[in-house]
Amino acid sequence: MWSLGKRKTSFMNEMASSAAVTEANPAASVNYLNYDKSIKSWLLTVDHKRIALMYLVTVALAFLAGGILALLVRIELLTPGKTIMDVQTYNQVFSLHGIIMVFAFIIPSIPAILGNFVMPIQIGAKDVAFPRINLLSYYVYVVGIIIVLLAMLFGRVDTGWTFYTPYSESIGTPILFVTTGVFVAGFASILTGLNFIVTIHKMRAPGMTWNRLPLFVWAIYATSIVQVLATPVIGITMVLLFLERVLSIGIFDPALGGDPVLFQHFFWFYSHPAVYIMILPAFGVMSELMATFSRRAVMGYKFVALSSVAIAFLGFLVWGHHMFVSGQSATSSIIFSLITYLIGIPTGIKVINWVGTMYKGSVWIQTPMLYALSFLFLFSIGGFTGIMLGVLGVDIHLHDTYFVVAHFHYVMMGGTVIAALGGIHYWWPKMTGKMYNETLGRIACGLIFVGFNMTFFTQFILGSQGMPRRYYDYLPRFEHLHQLSTVGSWVLALGLFLVAGYLLFSLKRGKNAPANPWKAVTLEWTNTTPIPHPHNFTSAPVVTRGPYDFHLAPEVFGYTGDGAVADAVPTNDAPATQA
């Protein structure tokens, strides 16, 4: 734990001191990073931008921890039988990989980092509606995760991240910590979602109508609704599991008169909408990237915006598709399968509209755009395989095999993580005032793309061939595919470490970034880089154009396209600093 604090401190100091050296723009020398460099000013900040960066550090560490656990799983699976660890260790390693990746990494990821940083500025606000609750949310998240990790001190956590009863009730004391930790961490998600909903409703700048909201904001809005409505259900599920362990209340444990399938219903009622918490923000990032790097408004704006809301709503109706073989009735399975297809439709609308955005656009290939294109490739595979799993008869064979593992890694990693990386690269100059090395950016993206497909496409085949999941040992005929998958994981890890390396390096030695390196026209690009202190805008913006109206943005492109008047008051950035 000490190294965590130390790295965080030096990271903060590096960012702060390098930002002060920016001096390309004297007027921006007092910015949100350097106005106060003390630890206390960071730990007690109520500035949404600083909170976003704290989340970035913690979430990145969670990703590192979860990622190392994944590498260990894959090394163990190089050979059948024991490779580097015994079966009880393995079962805990894969369980913790899932728990950390889901609760500590991916659920907060884009909303807590990019949502916090970018969304208020994109709507022209000074901060979120409840800045102190925002800070509280961060600490609640950290405490929750610590409680979950403490469980390891008391025994074996080897239930998988799904904690199915009655097995999860047989592992003893650790389940008390895990349930408490998830309950607490869930509150962070609820508070963030609540904060964002109120912010988007109440704090938009004058002229920022719902139809002019950037699609990233629409995505964050839909995500926040899901966070607020779904997370309490995992909360009560954890409470009931806790009480069953402590008071033997007999709700899920058949030995006490309970029903284990009831647990599955409760669990998936949250956990399915949770996957939309994971992917909707990624869709939002995608819209921003496609627009900026095609220099064209996203095609079908209204459809894309409303499809986010449709997905959020439909996501609550399909939880039973995780339970087709659970023993639930055929009628339930049929209904859940039918509605599952419906979710594919708004998702398909988005993909078609993103590709259509490039049509007759001005496509600029930079690292963020490479991630966006990778997303289209990888998420499409994930999405189609999701539909396949929704086909009733087919799911019977594929359920609980590596096919499912491959599917969700394609959507969560090939989708959310790729989009998050794209977003972090896109907004990196705005957040840090620095540019990263573009060549390394492209190389890393390539490594990640190749490594990811090597790791996970093989797992589709393993699954359809019958290899079950959560297996320590396996039949010899699956060995070659497992080895291919493991080697892929090394390539993937190399790419990810390269990203971390050059991003951290850019803080110290990177070129100072101009205010608007991508020539984007959403509000966050209209002020200096990094963002000034004390307010996001030198004067309150009045919005008169849509979020992707490049042709109405003379202050960015140096000319007045068709006579439209510049709206956002030009910042202290002189035009010469715009490259």
Applying the rule CB under 8 A, the residues between 272 and 301 that interact with other proteins are: 294-301
Contact between 397 and other proteins per CB under 8 A? yes
Would you give the binding string for other proteins spanning residues 193-222, x where CB under 8 A is met? Answer: xxx-xxx-xxx--x----------------
Q: How many residues does the chain have?
A: 579
Would you give the binding string for other proteins spanning residues 219-238, x where CB under 8 A is met? Answer: ---------xx-xxx-xxx-
Chain centre to alpha carbon of residue 117: 14
Residue whose CB is less far from other proteins, 345 or 500: 345
Site size toward other proteins (CB under 8 A) is 136
Contact between 574 and other proteins per CB under 8 A? no
- Give how far Cα 128 sits from Cα of 140, 507, 537, 542, Å: 18, 27, 14, 18
Q: Which of these ranges, 209-217, 245-253, 408-416, 565-573, lies near other proteins under the rule CB under 8 A?
A: 245-253
**Of 103, 218, 199, which Cα lies nearest the Cα of 157?**
103
Which listed residue (355, 508, 509, 570) binds other proteins by CB under 8 A?
Answer: 355
Which residues, at least 6 apart from 474, have a Cβ–Cβ distance to it below 8 Å?
77, 80, 467, 482
Would you give the binding string for other proteins spanning residues 83-102, x where CB under 8 A is met? Answer: ----xx--x-----------
d(CA 473, CA 6): 39
Which listed residue (42, 266, 336, 427) binds other proteins by CB under 8 A?
Answer: 266
- Tokens representing residue 86 in the block: 């015994």
Phi–psi pair at 532, nearest 5 degrees:
-70, 165
Shortest Å, Cβ 166 to other proteins: 5
Confirm if 454 and 409 have CB atoms less than 8 A apart. Answer: no
Which runs of consecutive H residues, i.e. helices, occur in 128-173? 131-150
Cis, bond preceding 214 (omega within 30 deg of 0): no
Q: Which of these ranges, 16-24, 55-63, 136-144, 321-329, lies near other proteins under the rule CB under 8 A?
A: 321-329
Would you give the binding string for other proteins spanning residues 45-84, x where CB under 8 A is met? Answer: ----------------------------------------
Shortest Å, Cβ 113 to other proteins: 20
Shortest Å, Cβ 31 to other proteins: 15
Which listed residue (1, 153, 247, 565) binds other proteins by CB under 8 A?
Answer: 247
CB atoms within 10 A of CB 146: 15
- Give how far Cα 346 sits from Cα of 308, 342, 386, Å: 8, 8, 14
Which residues, at least 6 apart from 293, have a Cβ–Cβ distance to it below 8 Å?
363, 364, 365, 366, 368, 369, 372, 518
Which residues, at least 6 apart from 381, have a Cβ–Cβ distance to it below 8 Å?
410, 414, 457
d(CA 92, CA 530): 42
Residue whose CB is less far from other proteins, 475 or 500: 475
Contact between 363 and other proteins per CB under 8 A? yes
Shortest Å, Cβ 134 to other proteins: 11
d(CA 417, CA 422): 8
Would you give the binding string for other proteins spanning residues 332-351, x where CB under 8 A is met? Answer: -xx--xx--xx-xx--xx-x
Q: Which of residues 139-168 bind other proteins (CB under 8 A)?
A: 158-160, 164, 166-167
CA-based R_g, the chain, Å? 24
Amino acid, single-letter form, for residue 76: E
Q: Which of residues 377-396 bind other proteins (CB under 8 A)?
A: 377, 380-381, 384-385, 387-388, 391-394, 396
Which listed residue (360, 563, 565, 576) binds other proteins by CB under 8 A?
Answer: 360
Q: Which of residues 464-503 bind other proteins (CB under 8 A)?
A: 464-466, 468-475, 477, 481
Residue whose CB is less far from other proteins, 64 or 450: 450
Contact between 316 and other proteins per CB under 8 A? no
SS3 236: helix
Contact between 438 and other proteins per CB under 8 A? no
Contact between 540 and other proteins per CB under 8 A? yes
Contact between 243 and other proteins per CB under 8 A? yes
Largest CA distance in the chain: 76
d(CA 541, CA 563): 20
